[in-house]
Structures are given as C-alpha cells and as structure tokens.
Amino acid sequence: MSAVTCRAQCGACCIAPSISTPLPKMPAGKPAGQRCAHLSELMQCELFGQPERPAVCSGLQPSAEMCGTNREYAMTWLAVLEQQTAPTCHTVM
C-alpha cells in the first residue's frame, strides 16, 4: 500500500477535530469545527514538525479511508469520528 500524502488546500484535519490540550495562540485548545489558529492561508500547519504541535495532530496521519477523494469527504469523515469519540455526559440522579 502506498503512503497517502496531504491534499493541497484541504486543511480538514486542522478544522474538523477538536484539540483538548493547550497550544500556542489557543491556550484552551480548539473546539471541533473551528479553524486552528495555526492553519495558514495555504491550508498548511504552521506548527508542523515543531515541538509545540499537539500530540493529537502529530498522531493523525492521512489515509485513504480518512481523506477520501475530496476535502468535503475528509471533513465529513473527521466530523463523524469526532462525534463517535467525544466523551459522553452522564447525569447523576
């Protein structure tokens, strides 16, 4: 299987998922669906390769399953993954 590389001008992985840890410019993390403050106008991560880049970002690698054939597919796939992995809120009675 060949390696999948990031699609130019996509940025889905920097918008769709939440980041629960602090990062520069975003000390409270980032909610799902919000553009990361480090996503450049060219849709590239300004923290790529830097030690300040959150572990969740470094661990998210492009794949055919996640990226599909277009940006809209990737945004939808990541939004569904975000919903499936979000902590659930339990009410104590």
Residues found in the chain: 93
| Residue 13: half-sphere exposure toward Cβ, Cα within 13 Å | 19
Report the chain's terminal Cα–Cα distance, integer Å. Answer: 51
Every domain of the chain and the residues it spans:
12-85
Per-residue pLDDT of the chain (93 residues; tens, 9 = 90+): 346 788 999 999 999 999 999 999 999 999 999 999 999 999 999 999 999 999 999 999 999 999 999 999 999 999 999 999 887 755 555
- The predicted model scores a pTM of 0.84
Tell me the CA distances in angstroms from 65 to 28, 60, 61, 76, one per residue in order: 30, 12, 11, 12
The two structure tokens encoding residue 60: 């998210």
